[in-house]
A and B are shown apart, each in its own frame.
Chain A
């Protein structure tokens, strides 16, 4: 069971046939430059990295993100998201590249338009040369709804996705501990994990039921669950996946859309996606790797500390909308502290070049 959580068990990156440049290093480098470029915003101050700050594990430390405005939800990390079939808290996009396009046009995030984004690439000689070497000549477009404009806009998302695909988790103390178990090295195990951390791990995989959702080497099943988190002050409860699945089905940049590079349109996730009231208030399970410096937690940052998140799951209160899938755990304070100690062994910061 422990090996199922081990980073060594992480399979190779799943291919993204909808993005022809997904594994192209030149596209990834172009995407990296775009990720840190604040010119991709209405006020010239907001880049992807404004909210996805690598020193905060690609989050921003705020309840709701602050960019050109205040966003609807909390900034999720981007580490390892190439493994997820669904993007955003509600899975309203089905690829990293279509995800990357969303914030660019959101009035509270980059507040720009696809025309402005494509113009920026066109007007910057270096960007233009890189773009044209990857995708061919930039289109001559005049109508803002044209397929040519959308194709260029999608290509920019595909470049950002090629970069984001390279942002992957690194080995944590927990992974070294599993290595020591595999090696039957008891001394090394004792050096690596305290008694509390070992007990916390046992609770994590056992009595606390954490692994029912936080499973696999990324500690997430990439699926959607209603865990009865309280509403954000001033907001109505968030309907989440039930609306997200409708949005991804209708999105022009989805796997079945005109801008997918997969001529065979292999879109099993969309073909078999579940819909319906069961998904009311269900949010995507986040990874538990690298929790430190990522407070606050939950989809609107409603809970400030790991300890309070654990208290929430221990109590499992009724959900305000839909129903809470979790059941009360009956853990005592010491046990909750041990789980927290274990979770901190998953820290392994990820850094990328910024210039």
Chain B
């Protein structure tokens, strides 16, 4: 029973993802995925948000914004390629008559794009995050057009997102209808009706396979034990220092010739180490010299050591309270 239920929940999430993806391609540019607002520029994705910092502080909007005011559009790349691409950003008054269904073909069909344009930022490569700031002087329907040019192929990818300034609501009814369908589907699955219609095994097996595909663990090598010493004295914050890592198997066999990578951070603060430490020398006998360590805050840290040997990868987390 529990297996069926887990499989059911899994299928539900998979269906949600599928639905949202279809919704995105039909929408043409910006879409809400769970809590996240995503802009799709063809296969490229960016976390998209709009702020009106002078009137709404840190409040985020996905497409429609409440008033004509200073508006900051932000695209945080989820796809590295965007950081190399030359991106331009245009906002036009909606002269297409298509409203929320405007597509790139409709934009291409505008005879005098310049006179419809209220804001244009020429192509620029922004390596980290793409942002524009535009102060709307009137409310109404607008269309955003983002184009990204591939640095090698020269191909241009575009995203179009119609939006309203002075938004009064009623923008997402198709999304909510879709959500209702999903909830109904989930009810059918959980209540067992779907199984009665399609056969118990088919549904459970299909769901279990999807689950396995989604959550299949990576393969790990044998149990390894990592210990460390700090030749520069006790651990202290704000001081760059080195560690000696000692790696052996649980049976006491010293590990030599491994590739050892070290990351670390404070899980409670969602940030990493202030430095990028690395193993600078293998000392033999399972010892590795790790340089460039520094902790800059007191509190709970985790140092994550990845050890790659011929028999696989082991990831070992060293907890530290500083």
Contacts and interface: CB of A to CB of B under 8 A. Distances in A.
Interface centre among B70, B133, B272 (most CB of A within 10 A): B133
Interface string B77-100: 000000000000000000000000
B310 to A, nearest CB: 29
Given A212-B299, A235-B133, A277-B128, A321 B237 contact: no
A269 B129 contact: no
B12 interface: no
Contact of A318 (B54, B60, B278, B299): B60
B58 A325 contact: no
A234 B128 contact: no
B270 A325 contact: yes
B198 to A, nearest CB: 43
B74 A321 contact: yes
B129 A239 contact: yes
A322 B132 CA distance: 16
Interface string A256-300: 000000000000110111110110100000000000000000000
Interface string A194-214: 000000000000000001110
Interface range on chain A (Cβ under 8 Å from partner): 35 or more
Interface string B282-322: 00000000011010111100000000000000000000000
A107 interface: no
Contact of B58 (A213, A269, A320): A320
Contact of A223 (B133, B268, B274): B274
A125 interface: no
Interface of A is mostly: loop
Given A221-B297, A274-B276, A325 B54 contact: no
Contacts of A231: 51, 53, 72, 133
Nearest to B60: A318
A215 B237 contact: yes
A269 B276 CA distance: 10
Dominant SS among interface residues on chain B: mixed
A83 B220 CA distance: 44
A323 interface: yes
A323 B270 CA distance: 8
Contacts of A242: 128
A31 interface: no
Interface in B210-268: 237-238, 240, 268
Nearest to A240: B128
Given A212-B299, A230-B58, A268-B292, A236 B276 contact: no
A322 B58 CA distance: 13
A274 B238 CA distance: 15
A211 B298 contact: yes
A224 interface: yes
Given A231-B53, A272-B292, A321 B58 contact: no
A286 B278 CA distance: 28
Most buried by B among A225, A234, A273, A320: A320
Contacts of A221: 237-238, 274, 296-297
B275 interface: yes
A230 B275 CA distance: 26
Interface of A: 211-213, 215-216, 221-225, 228, 230-231, 233-237, 239, 242-243, 246, 268-269, 271-275, 277-278, 280, 317-323, 325-327
Interface of B: 49, 51, 53-54, 57-58, 60, 70, 72, 74, 76, 127-129, 131-133, 237-238, 240, 268-278, 291-292, 294, 296-299
Given A223-B274, A317-B57, A323-B270, 11 more contacts: A213-B297, A230-B53, A230-B58, A231-B72, A236-B131, A239-B129, A246-B127, A272-B292, A272-B294, A320-B74, A321-B76
Closest 5 CB pairs of A and B: A272-B292, A236-B131, A317-B58, A223-B296, A221-B296
